[in-house]
Structure 1
């Protein structure tokens, strides 16, 4: 098995699809579309009865390794089919369970965070009309999209900040990647221990599996910065965003708008 995979952690609408395509464009890295299914293996890893049942078959000392091998067998098969040495994964929903994912992943995993201004993430989610997670007791059809979006920011960015705080992740910023990609990517691949390849500068020219990722991102060619979109919000909405997310936003390195 690949002992040094790469796992990207981020919130949605943060440039994760672009980063996935960049990683997959490298000759050593195979990065499929979002996997989603690792949630089930996280559950398996943490349930005492399941662990005991598996341990009765493989031995208690082999439980963790057996679950890990089962969890990542599809990533392994994908990288082998691609003829590459390493696999990567980017599934933003996993940030909600990052401690369990850390426990599941191989010990030598390299973690990469792509960070985008939370207010711009809010604008992107809100303009798409997405309920990425449903917060509150009201049915989604009756829920307020803006309030739900703010709850999403509090939840996901709070957990992402906690993950960054562990010091295990290499952090890059969407704004810098989109505006001046080459130095950002050279530093990233140096950190990953992979040689520089010009192909990572034109990821849209490589062949990719798209899965269910955003069709707009799928069709984008070139590095197109999308910055300052939070201006779509009204003054009242900005007041709410600033009250509930302003401190965390600044802690993540973004100045007050």
Structure 2
């Protein structure tokens, strides 16, 4: 980084740029190169909330080669550069705040994978859908599973789950997820599947997944109740009696009178769902 020349009060233009709250320079434009990853090709499930991602994760976690833990929430795991000179020190090491967070996320992934003794790790946190471009920057070799569900069924499920549901807010939330899912579906070389197909024919659906992940299919995946998947609890995934039953149960269909805003209805049609 260039140093100020001469008395600071006489050469204001040469002073370092103001610092942001995290210690980075405002407007310096520095972008750190990508550091080597411990986990080169993690798998991310991209889905809206209430779309069956917990069922998918326990099916995957039942495979002898796949570790699919509870929601990892990497996007809310941040690095704070608490002193003004910290950003300068990190830049000298070819790091910035974003790349520091990426290396932390990668370390968490690697630690969980090493503990499991398996070779593939899957993160199914639904809000990852909202930041998939950043995950792609972090892991260019990541693999992606796009899990779709009829938006009307998602709206109904969220409405039933919440104590004081706000219909307008719920539809807006589902639309936000839907837009990002469609971006990912059209952009990434992803394995696309639906919750409805997963529950209707789980063997066929999981065989397709295993082919995408380049692992042999295992019948034990369909009997996930016999495996230990950790505690089912709020904010780490679905915790309903349905998932805790240990059995794959039929997907709840969208109501025939489900009202969707035009953009959400358009997405549903693109995904092959009937819209009334």
Note the alpha carbon deviations across 1:166-220, whole angstroms, 9 max, x for none. 0321101111110111111111101110111111111121111235322214413
Cα distance in 1 for partners of 2:54, 2:48 equals 11
Structure 1, unpaired ranges of 5+: 131-140
What aligned pairs does 1:165-180 form with structure 2 within 5 A after superposition? 165-180=186-201
Structure 1 or 2, whichever has the larger Rg, is 2
After TM superposition, give the deviation of residue 8 of structure 1 in Å.
Answer: 0.6
CA contact (8 A) 2:64 2:118 kept: yes
Cα distance in 2 for partners of 1:204, 1:36 equals 24
Which structure has greater helix proportion?
A: 1
Task: Please name the residue that 1:137 is paired with.
Answer: none
Cα distance in 2 for partners of 1:4, 1:170 equals 15
Q: Could you say if the C-alpha distance between residues 53 and 27 of structure 1 is closer, same or farther in structure 2, counting changes exceeding 3 Å?
A: same
Q: Which of 199, 204, 207 does residue 228 from structure 2 map onto?
A: 207
What aligned pairs does 1:1-257 form with structure 2 within 5 A after superposition? 1-41=38-78, 53-56=89-92, 58-59=93-94, 67-104=101-138, 106-129=139-162, 145-210=166-231, 212=234, 213-216=237-240, 217-231=242-256, 238-239=258-259, 241=260, 243-257=262-276
CA contact (8 A) 2:144 2:191 kept: yes
Structure 2, unpaired ranges of 5+: 1-37
CA contact (8 A) 1:2 1:85 kept: no
TM-score (norm 1): 0.80
Cα distance in 2 for partners of 1:2, 1:244 equals 37
**Whose RCO is larger (CA < 8 A, sep 6+)?**
1
Q: Could you say if the C-alpha distance between residues 59 and 245 of structure 1 is closer, same or farther in structure 2, counting changes exceeding 3 Å?
A: closer
Note the alpha carbon deviations across 1:6-33, whole angstroms, 9 max, x for none. 1111001111000111111111111111
CA contact (8 A) 2:71 2:125 kept: yes
CA contact (8 A) 1:4 1:108 kept: yes
CA contact (8 A) 2:109 2:121 kept: yes
How many residues matched?
231
